[in-house]
Structure 1
Amino acid sequence: MNKYEQFLVSRSSVLEKIAQGGELSDCLEMLCSLAEENDPGMRCSILFYNEVENCVSHAAAPSLPDYYIEAIDGLEAGVGIGSCGTAAATGKLVIVENVYEHDYWAPFRELAKKVGFSACWSHPILSRDKKVIGTFAMYYDEAKSPSEAEIKLIEEQANIASLAIQNRQDRETLVASLRRTEEYLNISEAIIVELDNKACVVRISDVGLKSLGFTEDEIIGHNWFENVVPAEQQSEVLAVYERIMSGDLEPVEYYENEIVDRFGERHMISWHNRLILDKDDNIVGTLSSGQDITRRKLMESQFRSAEKMKAIGQLTGGIAHDFNNLMNVAMGNTEMAMGYLDVNSEGLKHLEKTLQSLEKGKNLTTSLLSFSKSAELEVTEVSLRPFMSDLKERLLSTLEDDITCEYLLYGDLAACLLNPSELEDCLFKLVMNAKEAMPEGGVLKIQAYSYSPNREGEYTPISSEDLHSDHAVISISDTGNGMDSIVQKHMFEPFYTTKEFGAGAGLGLSTVFGFIKRVDGKINVASSPGKGTTVELYLPIAS
């Protein structure tokens, strides 16, 4: 076999190393060593070419001395600047049979003499788009011209060097692209999640990790639905994923569902889903971009609730006004009729019962007007500390012996502008609600303190949202049955009650709600089944 045929047989080891992603310097050194083994007495070098700076730089030269490598490293490329400089500048094979006679080597003859070679052939290393990216050179001790097999050999070696260099460049481009992609994913405010065809997490953005409270190790490779989707929603959301994986993307390209972080908190996410395809257009996974819309959904719900309460208030106020007028006429006529009857007559006794019922009806309309903010009640500046102190005994007298009460007034309580009878009525209603929620006894805590958004206090409100000024706070907490989410959605609506028919009118909390809105205050409620209820009334400070 000639040199070219011998090289073709032995090149597989170099190609295998390149395919395995070996270090470029190792691959090029291996290529040179292999060529030298197949042609004893020949030495090789590979140079990189920088088109921007128009210079060559050292890549590999296992058998050339360091002083020679240093002399040509960084050398300018150009016609007449050695074999390699000329090959880099022209993009063509350069054959110098005798370096001591050829003009290209005039500046480097002493260096060649010192190294001990007489011939130098250099082939340009070309990229896929035929641009020069380096040179492959063969040095011989004696002056000589190449045979046809040797020309094929240097061409093949240059091709393999090109493959190695471009493979490295491709990997660097790919790594850079992946890095940019990761940076984009992490700068984005969206939760980016990639799932494979088994619904396991392949990639997740930093925002996703932060939202869920997981580390990469805790979520990558794990089933998304089993780990972050609420148990009661898993089958429904998994069905959406399977529909996407079947290729039926359009109906579920945009989808909303809840996820649960590692602390048990739920987040509503709006997803934009896409398919991931392989090179044969087979579906291999999904890529989803999600926005946390929990706060938006809450605000929408609060807005709808406020609009509903406003509509109910307007309707209730109109009916209550008309009914109140009718009640006043009925009570006036009843009282006049009573004046015509003997004090011991049976008719007077019946009219007295009628008047009592009419008075109860009038109280009911007063509650309705209070809810609708239509009642015309006199307001005055009320100092809360003496007010709450005077009210203590009367509030506690309504409790059963099996209920323990903590009655705590903290610091200086500022004055508030309100109707004291209304506030008293609200507190009695809240205490009665707490009492009824503890049929087997429990603990009732009544507190009053000052809240300021500008300083940290000992007492943290249930929610400080929309509290931008100083308030006096009255808090009533119980250890009773508590309320579920359905009851809480309706708790301020008039006539809504969880009691048996006839046991209550359902105006307790709606009256409190109406009072709070009328004084421009705020009411916070925290409750859950079996864990009791806390109601906080925020009363603006009188200026």
Structure 2
Amino acid sequence: MMPPFSADQPHTILIAVSTGYDAAALRRMLARHHFEVHAVSRGDEALAFARHGQVALVLLDVALAGSASLELCPRLQQASDKPLPVFLLSSNPNDEERTRAYEAGAAAYLPINFPVDDMAEKILLYLQAISPAPVLAGMPTMATLEVNYHTMLAGSPDAILLMQRGSNRILDVNRRTRQLFGMTETELIQTNLLSLCPPAQPDGQPSEHVFSVDLEQIMSGEIQLFELEMRHSSGRAIACELRMVPLTTQEHRLMHVRIVDVTARKLAAELRDGKNALLEMIARGAPLQETLDKLVRLIEGQLDQGSCTVMLLNADGATVQSAAGPSMPSDYMNALNGLPIGPAAGSCGTAMYRKETVIVSDILNDPLWAPYRNAAAHYGLRACWSMPILLDQDTVLGSFAMYYREERSPTEEDRRLIHAATHLAGIAIGRMRREEELQRHREHLEELVAARTAELQHAKEDAEHVNEELSTALDNLSMTQEELVRRDKLAALGALVAGVAHELNTPIGNSLTMASSMSERTAALRHDLESGLRRSVLQAYLDEASAADEVVLRNLNRAAALVAGFKRIAVEGGNSQRSQFVLGDVVAGLLQSVQGEVRQRGLELIEDVEHWLEMDSYPGPLTQALQNLIENSLVHGFAERHYDRGSITLSAHDSGNGEIAIILSDTGTGIAPEHLPRIYDPFFTTRLGAGSSGLGLYITHNIVTGMLGGRIEAASTPGQGTSFMLRLPRVAPL
């Protein structure tokens, strides 16, 4: 029964290890018992944590414990205000170090690679977080349990043997081991483990050296299993994986050895890697002969004493040619060249003729091999399986064959291998055929290109002549176009000057008239002053001068306002500040400035703006454009009569495509259809001389389409009102 956990008790396991330790795994195993794990890599860090932390137990690396006396162990115990057990962990456990560990006060001395689950159990038992398993009456314990090792060995499904350490002599084997090596128990127990290995491993190292190094690592706990190539009694190589467990008694030093045949796994990996290498060769266009040779050797490496060939069907579709067979006799391969395919043409010729796999398990007695039986017997061939290599269902490229020097039928693994080999050979040969076809097309194409080049050369000469004529015409056209552009610019400038002159003529003329009149009145006053000035005359002059000043000032202010308006025609981005702003704040400031004038006219100003729309643009020009639209509504939409229920609405929303749509609409008189196309022309107005210069919408159009990088659209129904829509990007163009 688990004792209840108390919050007052220390609940942290401190790990002080200089190298990597799987603290995460230990943390997971101790978490359900309410213990935490804290890891450090230096002795001073461990000491500091022991002073200030609620440490229940310490796992201390001997390498951090100090000198020979392991002084960090007692210092950790002294640093804690409660008893602190310390488990010392050693990377190279030995009896001398064990003695020093217990003398230093260690509660336990364990190897540093002690299994994490066993470590967790040992910690929980020591801290009494769990209780030991009870001893039941009549049940054996580990101390009293005795099992016959030979009986256990015989019943194992794995290949297992018992070996004496030092001499490597085999003491006992089970049935699976005898099957693995093809030897009797008597033969095996009269030899040693190294005699079951070849002199050298596949990497060239002596088997004795490899085995001794691996055995040393097993004993030190660095590894638990290793791979070793061994030999069947027939001489066949066996790729093995050995797992060893030391068994030590008072009288013997033994080793429990479990052997797993991983040959199939090795062959599968080699086949996979070989396929990838072949596909890379095909992709980079390696020579077909080199590719097929590599394919044949790859498949032969998967077979037990088998040889392979690749035959190609010649262009005549009736005879064959040897393409690859590095393990077959060269005279035999040469003898195959030019042989016909047919219904009884051996394995390969028949497979190509039938377009299906042909299995011949006994060459000497199969009618398909009757014409070639003597040749096969001469070279010791007894079985041959062949599969056609097809480009498609009807196009035969060749065949892939497996030969054996003994009578045998294919296994499922053999069928799988020949199918894979045929598929790869088909890819390689098909690519070669396509390359040859492309080469023929290239050669034909070169002939066509040469003929076409001659035609094009002739056409080029004709085109050059025509081009000269067109060049002359183009020069003339360019001169004409430049002249037209110059005339258009002069016409536009003339219209602008005329518009400016027309607008400024009235206030300047009025000012000149008043100035001229006052000049005459001043001369008359000077004359009266010489003959005696009456008070009434002076008073009349002053009244006239005051009226004249008012007229002149009003007209000059009008002229100044017109000049300011003209200057705003070309909006200069360099004078405007770009910033990131909230559209609602800009609109609120604008509406506050025009609210008074709108109310004076008895109108309602409605706002429908998504306040928190953010823009990276020019707030000043945007405000000017919106103010011009509002002024346009006041001057033109509500000028003719008083509107008790008239309104101006400003709305804005996100269009969802990186744009913001701003709409200003009114319920005024609207715009006549014939005027709508001209509303953005400079100086166009229906209220000339009545306070309008015809520049407001022109300036607004320039601001929206220029600096703000957007579009403006107008819609109007006479008698019902006008609407302007501004589509502006959230981020103005640079």
| TM-score, with length taken from structure 2 | 0.27
Report the structure number with the largest CA radius of gyration: 2
Q: Which has the higher contact order (CA 8 A, sep 6+)?
A: 1
